[in-house]
């Protein structure tokens, strides 16, 4: 039972490998054990819960995160009139997406009043394909885990970056099968764009690198333009590159050359995270670590960290 | 800002309701009772039984002492019995005892019969006499037998004289422990 358990396992269910970090949460976050394992190693072992124990992971309470091209992050605005109307409007919007995409969605959202604006509600909604979401959750249950939370990776990475910097930035996560481009800011993620190509395709055919680079540049420019149109305040100057593909020099060089931002990767954050072991690669484990930094408000979702 | 959680509600942990709490308490209580009556009490009984068995074994080990005591008591009993027999023998030689014997011999003597000899040791009486016929001597023998003083009385010798007169000798054995009657 989680009330008596101070440990939690964060699982980043990547398409290439699963990254796991087991940590104690009190009195302060302490990483106990971590590792990245090829997906097949965990999926093929029967029973997997024993395999996790063998690998040194003892707790069953887990925070899951994964990334998929069906992820949608949308920002909506509603006048402050009737709270119930806001919830109904969001549900209507989701139903409309389900009709448009012909797919059932699992979703969650947050509603807040922006500073200085007392008349407009800002709702951030995250939705994902229901079948995909449940497939990941059932897989975790199959490992013998008790999922307590399914985190959104772009939110998770934002929690890590927030430990170091308090300004807005462009995020580029080069994953194995997907590349995510998002706008990170101090409070929320207003926009996320997923490109369904990852560094896997680079390994398969080097000729595609140009195409990938064009798509990344395009996504970055779109989001930057979106942000400029929304507000002239807080125009970001920094770009953060992470994920397994952050070490591919072509991508790094291309971004530095084509997108006029100060680029760095997540390893630069180590100096701000004294409790995190130096050998933990933040580019690889960033999402996983971010899920351990969920604030105490998680209790409302059934957790008591 | 509350965090976004994509874990569907059907996968989330159910909050602990009063019903669940009561159910858990009931299960704990039940488990406690089962533990008490199925495990703890039988264990106590087993321990008590072992203690009793140990005590009995200890007593068994102390048995030679009891045996010694028993032999001592047996010896004492034997000694007391010997003393009692000595007292009894002493009492058999009292005048009161012999007065009873003599009274029986005389009172049983039929009319017409005369005693001629009387011999006695500690166990046998020999009574000799004469009488007009053998019927009278037989009647005397019967009376002596029926008196109850002699465990055995029999005609030792009978001699027929002229005109039916007989000379007889009756042998009576003396009974031990007759002292209570006198």
Residue A129 CB coordination number (10 Å): 18
Mark whether A241 and A195 lie in a shared domain: yes
CATH of the domain at A248: 3.30.420.40
Written as six digits, the tokens of A277 are: 């072991």
Q: Which residues of A touch B (CB under 8 A)?
A: 2, 64, 106-110, 112, 124, 126, 128, 133-134, 137, 146-152, 155, 187-188, 294-295, 297-298, 300-302
Mark whether A169 and A245 lie in a shared domain: yes
- pTM assigned to the model: 0.62
Say whether A301 and B2 touch across the interface (CB within 8 A): yes
Find chain B residues with C-beta within 8 A of A128's C-beta.
6
Domain count for chain B? 2
Answer whether residue B170 shows pLDDT above 90.
yes
Mark whether B50 and B107 lie in a shared domain: no
CATH of the domain at B135: 3.30.1360.100
Residue A82 CB coordination number (10 Å): 11
Here the ipTM equals 0.84
Mark whether B107 and B173 lie in a shared domain: yes
Say whether A301 and B11 touch across the interface (CB within 8 A): no
CATH of the domain at A97: 3.30.1490
Mark whether A116 and A174 lie in a shared domain: no
In a domain, B54, yes or no: yes
Residue A176 domain boundaries: 164-272
Per-residue pLDDT at A305: 31
Mark whether B119 and B173 lie in a shared domain: yes
Per-residue pLDDT at A114: 67
Mark whether A122 and A175 lie in a shared domain: no
Mark whether A123 and A206 lie in a shared domain: no
In a domain, B87, yes or no: no
Find chain A residues with C-beta within 8 A of B15's C-beta.
302
In a domain, A172, yes or no: yes
Residue B25 domain boundaries: 20-59
In a domain, B114, yes or no: yes
Mark whether A101 and A174 lie in a shared domain: no
Say whether A124 and B7 touch across the interface (CB within 8 A): no
In a domain, A171, yes or no: yes
Q: Which residues contact A180 (CB under 8 A, 6 or more apart)?
A: A67, A71, A153, A154, A171, A172, A173, A192, A193, A194, A195
In a domain, B7, yes or no: no
Looking at per-residue pLDDT, the higher value among A103 and B62 belongs to: A103
Partner residue facing A148 (CB), from B2, B6, B13: B13
One pLDDT digit (tens) per residue for chain A, 305 residues: 444 568 899 999 988 889 999 999 888 889 999 999 888 877 776 556 677 888 889 888 999 999 888 888 888 888 877 777 888 888 999 999 999 988 899 999 988 876 666 678 888 889 999 999 999 999 999 888 899 999 988 888 888 988 888 888 888 998 888 888 888 876 665 677 888 888 887 777 555 678 888 888 888 888 888 877 766 565 678 899 999 888 888 888 888 888 888 889 999 999 988 889 999 999 999 999 999 988 644 433 433 33
CA distance, residue A105 to nearest chain B CA (Å): 10
Mark whether A187 and A88 lie in a shared domain: no
């Amino acid at each position: 039972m989680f009330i008596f358990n101070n440990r939690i396992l964060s699982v980043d269910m990547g398409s290439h490998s699963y990254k796991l970090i087991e940590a104690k949460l009190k009195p302060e976050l302490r990483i106990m054990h971590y590792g990245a394992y090829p997906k097949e190693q965990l999926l093929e072992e029967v029973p997997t819960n024993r395999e996790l124990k063998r690998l040194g992971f003892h707790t069953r309470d887990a925070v899951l995160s994964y990334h998929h091209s069906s992820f949608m992050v949308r920002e909506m605005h509603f006048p402050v009139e009737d709270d119930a109307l806001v919830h109904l409007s969001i549900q209507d919007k989701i139903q409309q997406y389900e009709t448009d995409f012909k797919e059932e969605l699992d979703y969650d959202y947050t509603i807040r009043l922006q500073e200085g604006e007392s008349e407009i509600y800002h709702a951030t909604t995250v939705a994902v394909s229901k079948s995909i979401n449940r497939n990941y959750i059932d897989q975790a249950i199959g490992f013998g885990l008790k999922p307590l939370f399914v985190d959104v990776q772009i939110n998770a990475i934002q929690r890590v970056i927030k430990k170091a910097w308090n300004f807005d930035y462009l995020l580029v996560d080069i994953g194995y099968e997907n590349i995510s481009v998002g706008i990170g800011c101090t409070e929320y993620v207003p926009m996320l764009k997923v490109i369904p190509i990852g560094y896997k395709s680079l390994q398969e055919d080097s000729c595609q690198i140009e195409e990938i680079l064009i798509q990344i540049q395009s996504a970055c420019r779109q989001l930057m333009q979106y942000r400029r149109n929304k507000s002239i305040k807080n125009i970001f100057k920094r770009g953060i590159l992470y994920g397994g593909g952050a070490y591919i020099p072509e991508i790094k060089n291309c971004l530095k050359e084509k997108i006029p931002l100060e680029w760095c990767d997540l390893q630069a954050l180590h100096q701000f995270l004294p409790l995190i072991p130096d050998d933990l690669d933040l580019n690889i484990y960033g999402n996983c670590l971010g899920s351990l930094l969920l604030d105490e408000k998680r209790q409302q979702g059934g957790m008591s960290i | 800002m509350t965090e976004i959680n994509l874990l569907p509600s059907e996968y989330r942990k159910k909050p602990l309701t009063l019903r669940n709490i009561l159910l858990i308490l009931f299960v704990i209580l039940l488990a406690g009772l089962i533990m008490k009556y199925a495990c703890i009490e039988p264990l106590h009984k087993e321990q008590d039984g072992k203690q009793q068995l140990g005590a009995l074994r200890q007593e068994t080990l102390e048995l030679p002492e009891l045996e010694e005591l028993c032999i001592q008591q047996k010896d004492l009993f034997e000694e007391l019995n010997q003393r009692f027999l000595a007292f009894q023998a002493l009492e058999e030689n009292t005048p009161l005892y012999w007065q009873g014997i003599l009274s029986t011999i005389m009172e049983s003597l039929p009319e017409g019969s005369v005693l001629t000899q009387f011999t006695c040791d500690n166990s046998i009486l020999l009574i000799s006499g004469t009488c007009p016929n053998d019927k009278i001597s037989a009647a005397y023998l019967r009376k002596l037998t029926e008196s109850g003083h002699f465990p055995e009385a029999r005609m030792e010798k009978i001699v027929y004289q002229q005109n039916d007169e007989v000379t007889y000798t009756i042998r009576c054995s003396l009974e031990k422990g007759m002292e209570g009657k006198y």
